[in-house]
Amino acid sequence: MHRARQKTSTNGDQASTLRQMARQRSRTAETIAIVSGKGGVGKSNIAVNLSVSLAQSGTRVTLVDLDMGLANSDLLMNIQPRYTLAHLVSGSRTLDEIEITGPGGIRFVPGGSGIGGLANLSEFERRNLILQLDKLTDSTDILVFDCGAGISRNVVNFAQAADTAIVVTTPEPTALTDAYAMVKSIHCGHSRASVRVAVNMADNRAEAEATYQRIASVSRKFLNYSVADGGFMLHDTSVELAVRERCPFVIRYPESNASACIAAMARTIARNQPGQEVRGGFFKRVAGLFV
């Protein structure tokens, strides 16, 4: 009788373990594409510091620099990669060989300056790149892509396939116009991404809110589409100093206003991430967009 109860208990424990393993296998990394309609709005700086801030809270974060033409995330972290995405694209190096441990414990996949972008790669190069990057989704909690600026097919396709696309802008009129163009490109391409607008270089909270509302209002009016508030970054001399020192400002100046703003963005993302059920197949979706 005792043995029977013990056997039942053991079977129950095994079943519970199997269910837990199944749940773990059914989860995949949350994918976040950081994009901008134009260059010079601080997109890469936000991508780097947001990744580090998320990692500081205990989240496993991988940052992939997908700006294949002008990759510069490595400079912001004072990293001199031996191998980059260029080697991954060519098949001469594997993901394990080019991946680097970055500040705050993030995993970093360096971009390859001068690469023409996914749309210009050969079929072999594109499939090899996507196959290699797909390995990341099972070993990280949040996968952050620092995409190139502008609305090229390469950038828009990654944004459309991600779980969240964060469009970075500044209050400047030209940046606002290009940010709206990015929102429109993502939305009109049957996107599955949740689009958020993050305002950088704002003088104060009121200006940041007004900037976000301008894009949100136009999107509702002309696209019948709602974009979420992705947070804001205030003007802060600490950011410029950290760039010159090649260190993420959340590490070099943790008490700065900029670090507080990034921490608020990270908390919003982290609140939505734990326990998320699989919405996976990110790289399969990306591959399908280039056929």
Instruction: Write down the pLDDT at residue 248.
Output: 98
Q: Are 88 and 94 spatial neighbours (Cβ–Cβ below 8 Å)?
A: yes
pTM of the predicted structure, to 2 decimals: 0.85
Q: How far apart, in whole angstroms, are the C-alpha atoms of residue 190 and residue 104?
A: 36
Give the contacts of 47 (CB within 8 A, at least 6 positions apart): 34, 63, 73, 144, 145, 146
* Beta strands 194-202 and 61-65, pairing class: unpaired
| Residue in this structure with the two tokens 């990034």, named with its chain if needed | 262
Q: Which two tokens stand for residue 124?
A: 């072999």
The domains of the chain are located at 33-289
Distances in Å between the Cα of 76 and the Cα atoms of 32, 47, 230, 249, 258 are 19, 10, 22, 9, 15
**Chain center to CA of 225:** 22
Smallest CA-to-CA distance from 158 within 181, 125, 186 is with: 186
Q: How far is CA 31 from CA 81, 141, 204, 209, in A?
A: 23, 9, 29, 25
Is the backbone of residue 60 left (phi > 0), alpha (psi -120 to 50) or beta?
beta
Determine whether 89 is exposed, middle or buried from the number of CB atoms within 10 Å of its CB (0-12, 13-18, 19+): buried
Going by C-alpha positions, the residue among 182, 145, 143, 184 that lies closest to residue 279 is 143
Give, for all 291 residues of the chain, the pLDDT tens digit. Answer: 444 444 444 444 544 443 443 344 345 789 999 999 999 999 999 999 999 999 998 999 999 998 776 778 999 999 999 998 888 888 888 899 999 999 999 999 998 766 666 556 677 777 777 788 888 888 899 999 999 889 888 788 889 888 999 999 999 999 999 999 999 999 987 677 899 999 999 999 999 999 999 999 999 999 999 999 999 999 999 999 999 999 999 999 999 999 999 999 999 988 876 444 445 567 667 665 555
- Give the model's pLDDT for residue 21: 38
Are 76 and 248 within 8 A, CB to CB? yes
CA distances from 66 to 77, 98, 149, 219, 286 (A): 16, 14, 10, 27, 13
Q: What is the pLDDT of residue 11?
A: 47
Specify whether the CB–CB gap between 238 and 232 falls below 8 A. Answer: no
Write down the pLDDT at residue 119.
Answer: 55
CA-based angle 79:81:60, to the nearest 5?
Answer: 70
One CATH from 3.40.50.880, 3.40.50.2300, 3.40.50.300, 3.40.50.80 for 33-289: 3.40.50.300
Give 57-82 as a 3 state SS string. Answer: CCCCEEEEECCCCCCCHHHHCCCCCC
Tell me which DSSP letter residue 200 carries.
Answer: E
| 36 phi/psi in degrees, rounded to 5 | -155, 150
Integer Cα distance of 280 and 30 in angstroms: 8
Q: What's residue 23's pLDDT?
A: 40
Read off the tokens for 140: 């990280």
| Residues facing residue 108 across a β-bridge | 63, 100
